[in-house]
Structure 1
Amino acid sequence: MSELASPPSGAAAPWEGDAPTTKTPAPVVPEQMRPEDRTPANNASPSDAPTLPAVPPGTTPGTELAGRYRLRTRVGSDAAAGAEFWRAQDTILRRDVGATVLRRFPADRGSEHEAMARADAIVARALRAGSFEHSGCARLLDVLTPGTGGMPHDVLGVAVTEWVPGRSLAEVMAEGLIKPIAAARAVAPLAAAAEEAHRHGLVLGCDHPQRVRITPEGRAQLSFVLPRADVTPADDVRGLGAVLYTLLTARWPLSSADAALAGLSPAERTPAGALLPPSEQRPGVPVELDTLARGTLGPDGAPGHVHTAAAVNRLLAEVVDEHDRMALFPPAHDGVPSDPGDVWQDGGRVVAAPDPRRKRKLAIGLTALAVAVVFVIGYISMQVGSVFSDGNGPPIVVDSPSASSNGAPANAAPQVGGDGGIAAVAGVKVYDPVGDADNSSRVSRVIDGDPSSGWSTFIYKQQFPALKPGVGVMVSFASAVQLSQLEIQSPSAGTVIEVRSAPAADSSFRDTSPITEVTLRDGTTPVSLAGSQPVTHVLLWITKLSGGGDANVTQIDEVQFHRAGS
């Protein structure tokens, strides 16, 4: 979780003896920092400290912290910790980061000492965790300690982490329930991170739904730090169970207030106040996952109570391993349609009866193809026969290699023009260098040949480039192809798209080259690519979304590329 190659912004440099170091301070990691290092010494002159412009109170999009981190989008908050979760930009390294902003409670305004004591306790815990790194946690990059210059006066501290692409728990659940085994796979890396953290005497604070995000690979990852000061390893265990319970039922089982903030429904309970187990809310939940969810969320001392993150991690690993071992056996119905790649498909799905008209058309087509093949073979036989004739016919003339019959050089490149047919697309993906790869699971719909299905961006409350410079669709071909035209089917009139070539599907934006720009109309928009160079990868880069106000979105139903004819 650490990338502190220099002291955290606003932290004092290390001390040597009783005097401050006069040379450039050596790299400092959080565990090397003493409490007295987080504020300037009494004998340090005001001129020694960097001066930053005064920042007005409040945290809004555009607020800049410590002259480096610009807040962009607020994605959540933890009222119990007085923390806000932001997607921010590191203006020096030009990258997105996650910022956990520790705010003053309203009650703190009359007690400066209590506010600073709470901030010190929370930030000190973050500093101690600075050297901890795990794939289940976003890496800690920087910590702005209490008293750092260049922050609003009601901000007590900030922890900066890597930005975790993907979606929140609420966004994942908004698309419907996922398979129980997918839920187990998702929580496993977070459980492994909690186990490792507890072994080092640390806690994650994963008991809040907005601190956890689901990556594009389907892994739950702790994205925002600075949990409340009284959080314990037992809270982490309950948090692991809560994330698993939510992925199984789409309901948050801990604080109802946190559920409301996160956009989730609170878990259902019995009249006695006990949680309804996941197996009573959906079919097909394995008994191991049902027991694990109840064991982590049940009261201490209850039968089957799970006490440690190590136990959660071990049980999840056993469930995943058992599922992989039994993959060739029919699964229990889990209320979710089978995926295309599953070994076992739904037996109850309706299979369309054969269409006799389709069979008749197929027979006619095969007959026509056979006639065409016979014709071609006959023509080739005639040509071969003329080559080996007895010489009574006209002599065979061999053109000079220096010129063709029309006077043009024989080795000249053919003229490009016309339509050489549809260019087959080898792959497509969402291209989003600074964001979450909007709806990446649906982007294949733009090349599925079905205009009734499509892909769309997220709905943005502000037009590009307020939140990010753009988002695109990267189309790849098996080999370099000369294109003559592109057709884009879309209902999003007014969308502006730059058509760019790219050397690779994962190229940085600066390595792409513009070909042309087009404004979409409702329906099919043809785009001329005449005169462009052969390409292997084409980027459709959206620089302006359709819509307006706080509902800016672009939908693309189908794209089709035409080869250049000769």
Structure 2
Amino acid sequence: MTLAEVPSVGDLLAERYRLEEHVGGANGHRQLWRGVDVLLHRSVAVVLRSPGGEDAAPTMTAAVAASRTHVDSMVDVYDAVDEGRFAYVVREWVNGSSLRGVLEQQTLESAHALELVASVADAVAALHEGGVTHADLHPGTILLSEDDRVMVTEPRNEPGVTQVEDVRALGATLYACLTATWPRVVPAENTGLPDAATDEWGRVLDAAAVSSQVPARISQLTADLLDHTQAPPSAAELAVELRALAVAGNEPTAAIKVSVEPHEAPTSVLGSMNLGRFKPETPPAGMKRLAVIAAVIAAVLFGGVLTSALVFGGEDDPAEADENVTASDTGSDKGEETTEVAVPTDLPLTPDMIRVVDPPDGDRDNGEGLDALIDGNASTGWSTATYRNNPKFGNLKPGMGILIDLGQAYEVASVRVQMTSAGATVGLLSGNEDPGDSSEGDQAIVDGFTELAAPVENADTNIELQAGGEATQFIVIWVTELPESSGGYKLTVSDINVFVR
């Protein structure tokens, strides 16, 4: 929006919705306002997006789908208007606290967390049935209302976000409820929570390893939902499973005692789930008015946290992320030296450390957008060209890559790659030097660099390539096959993270 187009207090949209207070979203792209429907005399939330038109089409589609869900745990969507210069969705105004506000003060008991996430899954399942994704699930977009409801804010339906990613976000939300941290294997904007603790390989610790109060079955279910090598259930199936676990946990004969060491792997819940027992016609259980939610909100209110819900993707000051966990050898005898195991850390990357590798017969003109790979924003990224003949870059070249100069030799533990589409083949190469930013140099990389991590075929949108701790200064995220895209084959990488010791 230009300055002249920025809405201000008192503006009347659609001759009906008067803007009262700007409460979230400092940039012009997406803003949250508290408003008043002057015809019905009720408070509303107005979510503005700029620009409108084609860019806002997914949001408008999602608003229509949300208005038809008829699920108690989805906020009511009243209107959606596209004025071209901007578009806006009008929904109910919810007084209460965001889930993030609660988790900043305390974790939830397992049974409470299961029922809460099951209610969120009901809303997600309804959206999926309507053909859209939420694409913005995290504790900042889940509300706990003053009248004891769990409410999910309106969906974004961002292009490239799949139903599978929504379900993984449900798993990440369950993990957050149990640990008050967010697992970065599921990208989300400004959750406001610290990053989940990881092991020496950069893998997220199981919830039971973080808190002994988490039953083993629930911990393993959460781990399976976060595991990108496993296909998750649908949102509707997950809601059923979560409620079954909640009921089992409330039965004295089914009490689960947890004594799980961090390295132990309990039997997979997802792997043993009989998905055939979930009949498609089985309706979601619906949102229950939970006394537990009322108790949680009351506790937070007593602590002075409860406010009118400004739930807008986390525009508040987020908690500082703690990504470093160290472990020591506690088994040594007195007088022996205690050894510390260095846990991988996320190496800060700058634009001058990254370039594109495009060997012959590549045209080497795909250098734009590299900054977006390290901006932490999953909605931006770097893209290849579109190849119409086949997924192997039209058989023009062996592949393309992103070269990263780490600045010095590090023991590389893993490299996380977030993409907007599944289906690519992605591996990791390493070498001792950059032979030069030229077509000849790129060919020398193809000929001389060695495999650091085996290629992952038909990769999910979020993968972590395990490098095994080999010391190197130069690595290449190497793509040899592209996913299908509109009009051919194309890959967009949204973010990369390198974990080193």
**Normalised-by-shorter TM-score class:** 0.3 to 0.5
- Which one has the largest radius of gyration? 1
Q: Which has the higher contact order (CA 8 A, sep 6+)?
A: 2
TM value normalised by structure 2: 0.47
